Copies of this chain bind each other. A is one copy, B any other.
Amino acid sequence: MVRQLTEQGRERKQQLLDVAAELFAERGYGPTRIADICDAAGVAKGLFYWYFDTKEALFAELVRHMRLRLRRAQGHAMDPAADPVTRIRQGSEASIHFLAEHRAFFALVEVERTDERMAPVLHEGAGIYVDDVLRLVTEAQLAGQLPSDIDPTLAALGVLGTVSSFGQYLRSGRISAPIDDVARFVGDWVVRGLAPVQATA
């Protein structure tokens, strides 16, 4: 469904996306009904299907959109001139800030794990973060900045897992510390976890 949207149409669609993100974040994907989204947006249920083919399509659009913004945020934070480990730290901290601001995002990523019916939509881009980090880890190993005997995939997953679990803790309100402290802690934690050579020097 490719629809030519007017200005008003684009706004309405964005409104639905925003509202949906909000609700997904609160209740999760499954328990959020289309009726809820429309109610919250103050429109009739039928209108939903003017903008989206299915509930899943809305979901996919939301995920892609968020993913794009997250990667952009990470890109902005990483100094191209810095060494790989520093860039990992920068990316991690930026991610924490992003996740803190866009708590909805995590509700989406969660679904990936729980509901296998979402797999096609999600696996499409599931590995990109792993690849991103993996590239940096390998680069660091080649540069002698990281010990070469650690499994680069596990290391990349360690970074990702830390970032994403702190994202969740932030979302669930289990963390009361100021966001800057959390970001710094996460940055430190992953760098220490990676065991960079100079850190022990």
Contact = CB atoms under 8 A, between A and B. Distances in A.
B189 A158 contact: yes
For chain A, which range describes its interface: under 10, 10 to 19, 20 to 34, or 35 or more residues? 35 or more
Contact of A161 (B116, B117, B162, B181): B162
A192 to B, nearest CB: 5
Is the contact region of chain A dominated by helix, strand, or loop, or is it mixed?
A: helix
A161 B28 CA distance: 20
Q: Which of A115, A165, A172 has the most CB of B within 10 A?
A: A165
Contact of A165 (B26, B157, B188): B157
A174 B200 contact: no
A42 interface: no
A193 interface: yes
A116 B193 contact: no
Interface string A18-37: 00000000111111000000
